[in-house]
Amino acid sequence: MNIHERLAYLLHQVTNHSATDAELEELAGLLKADHTGSLTREIEQQLKAALPPEEMAYDRDYWDNIAGRILSSDHPKAQETASVPVRTVQPWRRWRWAAAAALAVLLSVAGWQLWQRRPVRAPAPVAIQPFHNDVAPGSNRAMLTLADGTQIPLDSAGSGPLAQQGNTRIIKLDSGRLAYRAAGNAANGALLYNTITTLRGGQFRIALPDGTQVWLNASSSLRYPTSFAGPERRVQLSGEAYFEVAKDADQPFRIHTKEMEVEVLGTHFNIMAYDDEDILKTTLLEGAIKVSREGSSRRLQPGQQARVHRANGSLDVLQHANTEEAVAWKNGFIQFEGQDIRAAMRMLARWYNVEVEYRGAVPAHFRGVIPRNVPLSQVLKMMEMTGEVQFSINGNKIIVSP
């Protein structure tokens, strides 16, 4: 069997969801060795010629998973732990679906163009320079600061009780999460505050005293009382976090950032309020919330996003937000939806704990999804496939050049 017959067989296996790990590895090897782009063009030609153009579903879940596995094929551990969140299935032309399937293993811009019903073009060959070193992804690590200033590194702390704060015990669960348990009548105790902080390259999950679940992204902090007493539950956030708020109509939950306040009775939503971002975003997935900013307020329905623009202080609402993108980090993914190079690199800098240096103007924009547990080089390789940008890693610094 020659290479063309073998390629046809592998494509048949992949598009029928029946490829084995060994066959995926073989296809990855062929594509990685395709320095001229000829196999990519052959894939498109074979599929367009063989498949009729009737409508069918494009299973983005499956192809995102295949793409992540191909790109992380050099790192089996990351590959084994990758998971794919549920996505909405949309109708596409069959040949476009199949062509996108083949190109998804490259996570190329051409693949995304197929998904957006743009003209099909094979990606230009890109000479990817080898990375002389690499950077591991972030992990579950954070620092807990108690009311008296004592600090506890949560990534190295063992499971079990960590501290006592008034009438509340702090426990690290076997799952690695942090939880608070009342050890008496919390209402009679002094009001004490704790702060959980993640640096670059860290994330953490915590169950607050009322049962509210919080996922904290990298470079973020949350300040909260060790027990909620009084007419409201009030916390302070810096950075980014996803909340699943425990319902309590008698005690509204309020989140304060430097430039806005979010009020909720019980719901699921994401707040992105990093100091180095131009737009602060609150994205609602379930329930209802009110976002306020200097006397102006907006009520959100699921699927909407409130945005505070730092340039002029305005508050507006995006009616149909990309909720998948907003919570991709919490689901274990890096997702680009048209971000420019600087916005994309800010995301990577936080998660991989690196600095970024730009050498020349780079006008690139990116679209794609990749697991967040792969080494930095795998993400940079995907981004280089646009043909507009090149990267190198020098110690803890990424060099970006056109």
pLDDT in tens, 377-392: 888 887 887 778 889 8
Does residue 126 lie within any of the structural domains?
no
Q: Which of 141, 285, 129, 268 is nearest to 204 (CA)?
A: 141
Mean pLDDT confidence for 6-33: 69
| Residues of the domain holding 382 | 333-401
Q: Which pLDDT does position 336 carry in this prediction? A: 86
Question: Which residue, 52, 80, 115, sits at the end of a domain?
Answer: 115
> Among 66-80, 111-125, 150-164, 180-194, which range has the highest average pLDDT?
150-164
Q: Which pLDDT does position 339 carry in this prediction? A: 86
Residues 312 and 340 in one domain: no
Does residue 315 lie within any of the structural domains?
yes
* Dihedral sign of CA atoms 394, 219, 327, 305 in order: negative
What secondary structure letter does DSSP report for 252? -
pLDDT band of residue 361 (cuts 50, 70, 90) is: confident
Q: Which pLDDT does position 364 carry in this prediction? A: 79
As beta bridge partners, residue 340 has: 365
Q: Which of 335, 344, 346, 351 is nearest to 199 (CA)?
A: 351
Mean pLDDT confidence for 216-235: 93
pLDDT band of residue 108 (cuts 50, 70, 90) is: very low
DSSP letters, 70-87, are: HHTTT-HHHHHH------
Cβ neighbours of 356 (radius 10 Å):
16
Residues 296 and 160 in one domain: yes
pLDDT band of residue 354 (cuts 50, 70, 90) is: very high
What are φ and ψ of residue 32, in 5° steps?
-65, -30
Reply yes or no on whether the pLDDT at 347 is more than 80: yes
Reply yes or no on whether the pLDDT at 156 is more than 50: yes
Reply yes or no on whether the pLDDT at 53 is more than 80: no
What secondary structure letter does DSSP report for 106? T
Mean pLDDT confidence for 141-162: 91
Percentage of the chain exceeding pLDDT 70 = 69
Q: Which pLDDT does position 78 carry in this prediction? A: 35
Reply yes or no on whether the pLDDT at 60 is more than 90: no
Residues 151 and 270 in one domain: yes
Does residue 143 lie within any of the structural domains?
yes
Does residue 20 lie within any of the structural domains?
yes
Q: Which pLDDT does position 41 carry in this prediction? A: 63
Q: Which of 352, 347, 397 is nearest to 139 (CA)?
A: 352
Q: Which pLDDT does position 147 carry in this prediction? A: 92
Reply yes or no on whether the pLDDT at 125 is more than 60: no
**Residue 299: CATH number of its domain:** 2.60.120.1440
Residues 101 and 161 in one domain: no
Does residue 68 lie within any of the structural domains?
yes
Q: Which of 111, 133, 110, 101 is nearest to 24 (CA)?
A: 101
Does residue 7 lie within any of the structural domains?
yes
Q: Which pLDDT does position 80 carry in this prediction? A: 37
Residues 279 and 294 in one domain: yes
**Residue 355: CATH number of its domain:** 3.55.50.30
Helix (H, G, I), strand (E, B) or coil at 253: strand
Does residue 132 lie within any of the structural domains?
no
Percentage of the chain exceeding pLDDT 90 = 37
Residues 188 and 236 in one domain: yes
Question: Which residue, 281, 296, 326, sits at the end of a domain?
Answer: 326
Cβ neighbours of 251 (radius 10 Å):
17
Residues 266 and 354 in one domain: no
Residues 191 and 99 in one domain: no
Q: Which pLDDT does position 127 carry in this prediction? A: 38
What digits encode the pLDDT tens for the residues 244-260? 999 888 899 999 999 89
CA–CA distances in Å: residue 294 to residues 161, 300, 306: 41, 17, 14
Mean pLDDT confidence for 302-314: 92
Residues 246 and 163 in one domain: yes
Q: Which pLDDT does position 75 carry in this prediction? A: 39
Q: Which residue has the higher pLDDT, 266 or 66?
A: 266
Residues 85 and 173 in one domain: no
Q: Which pLDDT does position 174 carry in this prediction? A: 83
Residues 169 and 286 in one domain: yes
Mean pLDDT confidence for 98-115: 38
Does residue 33 lie within any of the structural domains?
yes
Residues 397 and 306 in one domain: no
Q: Sheet with 397-401: list strands edge to edge.
A: 355-358, 397-401, 390-394
Question: Which residue, 284, 307, 326, sits at the end of a domain?
Answer: 326
Q: Which pLDDT does position 93 carry in this prediction? A: 36
The model carries a pTM of: 0.68
Q: How many domains does the chain have?
A: 3
What digits encode the pLDDT tens for the residues 65-91? 555 555 444 433 333 333 333 333 333
